[in-house]
Structure 1
Amino acid sequence: MEAQGCVQCAYVDYKGRRCEDSAENEGGLCFWHDPEADKQGDDICERVEAIAKSGRPLTGFQLKNANLRNVHLVNRGCQDGYDLTDADLNHADLRDAHLYNINLQGACLLKVDARYANLNSANLTRANLLGIRLDDAKIEHIRWGSIILQAAESKKLRKRESNRKEGVRRLNEEAEEVCRNIRRQCELHGLQEEAGEFFQKEMRYRRYQLPTYSWQRLVSKTVDLLCGYGERPMRVIAFSAAMVVVCAFLYAMIGVSAGGEIIQVHPELGWQANWAKLMECLYFSVVTFTTLGYGDIAPVGIGRTIAAFEAFLGTFILALYVVVFVKKMTR
């Protein structure tokens, strides 16, 4: 397509919008979408601000190594922030930048210096956050996305055959590093809920680096399921309740002894009678799990083994809950 004798830039963004600028290189790209164009000039900051204020989209801008210190990209009076989706800001200087509510979905923020920047309410979904510096930056209400970019790439790589294991391990290392960095910054800013979320992700990506069938990975997975690496105390309660109920059903099927009488459900009994016996077994299961041991009801047969296992696991689970609960509350 030509306009006034010039070839229009070939870049098309995620919304299907084609750049209106003229192409300046052999690849058919304009200055802003050309990854080889030098963006280190002192006037880049002002030029980017002017484009944003004009209403033109900033999607896909190639701003590698750009000096954007103190850049002001806050779209005042509009619910949506300026759109820098898929932009390349690799090694850019964003110190003291005003980026409230900015849309940086899919952007490359590799080793960006964002110290003292205002990133409140920014959208960083699918952004490459490896090595980003967020010291003293404002990071409240950021939309980080449900999965780290490197982790998403790792999942895709698992389906390939060549060099799959090494590539997956490297990507999970990077994902762990990203989560550790963000988790530390969240802790410094008092964002404890976000810090907890990223701690869980950090531990999961560390687990993915372990051999698939190793006991270390199995233990790590168990801890994740049981308590979310100490960040999910309700999981401990849910597991405890499930175990108590399951054991109660087992006792009801096997039978327990109370004053010489065997308490056991039976198909020939009515539902009311069986329900009463099941409640008795549930009571015994709770007493066993909490290791109270009143002695009014005792297991029989294989039920003794089940009761011993339940009591042992109950002691461990209750101690675990105290640790997890205290950790969560002291934050």
Structure 2
Amino acid sequence: MTLDTAPLPKVLLHDHLDGGVRPATVLELARETGYTELPADDPVALGEWFRAAADSGSLVRYLETFAHTVGVMQTADALHRVAYECVRDLSDDGVVYAEVRYAPEQHLEQGLSLEEVVEAVNAGFRDGERDAAVAGRPIVVRALLTAMRHAAKSREIAELAVRYRDDGVGGFDIAGAEAGYPPTRHLDAFEYLRRENAHFTIHAGEAFGLPSIWEAIQWCGAERLGHGVRIVDDIQQDVDGRPHLGRLAAFVRDRRIPLEMCPSSNVQTGAAESIAAHPITFLKDLTFRVTLNTDNRLMSNTSMSKEMQLLVDEAGWSKTDLLWVTLNAMKSAFLPFDQRLRLIEDVIKPGYR
């Protein structure tokens, strides 16, 4: 009998707020905010455009998709609505805990301050949690504040994450093009976060290789790696197929550094050839702390249920495998230990039984 992943409890650590907006919402917000650059004027056609652009193989066209979603997320009301709908969509998909990231610096074009951006998103998340619980689909959502690698606001965004960490902000991240923008450019932000006992993850090892991963861990002190698929470059196989881990790969596995892996997104960007050949299965079998994530639900036309189902159907995953990566994710969440344990024992394990 085919495994149906839809009813299973899910934990999501790597999801971009501006990459998960409903197409109908993009259209409505464009009309409300005066944004006139959309490539289609009905929800179905717009959703298809986003997916085709993300699948095109053109980095320019892929990045253009985010210009449109960010373009309509420039007011407090728009940010609140997108955040609220994000929570409801995730809870309807069976997600019980999620960390959703966004870059506050990208939402200032119509006069909002960084603080107003964070407060609008936080309010949307809280209202979404409340209504999801009323609907019988409880979920906990934490925000991750992202700084852009090519910009110079990382210390400011890090301070913002610390300022709001008792108001629903779980941690900090950097994102954007890896090549030419190493994480050590933002060392001041990471050193500040460590002094403040604050959590952070770093996008590393997606489009760039082992040096990006090494810097993120050894120079910057990353607790988790966003994507991290290129860690397989440090694993060799002998003539009998037995794997031999290099020093960096062994360190990542030994230290249980979580890998926030996003199969569908990686196939779109060329970081993996297919779902069946995605490194997540190889790394799972080697007992790395892999986690399963969506990255950008709109651009990849995906959800946590779809990502799970793809691994079941195309990579031979079992329910035991899915439980294992779900527990990995919950153990790795930027959430107090007692709350993580409560979700594991009271929600996730019973849900899988």
Place the TM-score, normalised by the shorter chain, in its bin.
under 0.3
Could you state the TM-score of these two structures normalised by the residue count of structure 1? Answer: 0.27
More helix by share: 2
Larger Rg over CA atoms: 1
Could you state the TM-score of these two structures normalised by the residue count of structure 2? Answer: 0.26
- Using CA pairs under 8 Å that are at least 6 residues apart, name the structure with larger relative contact order, 1 or 2: 2
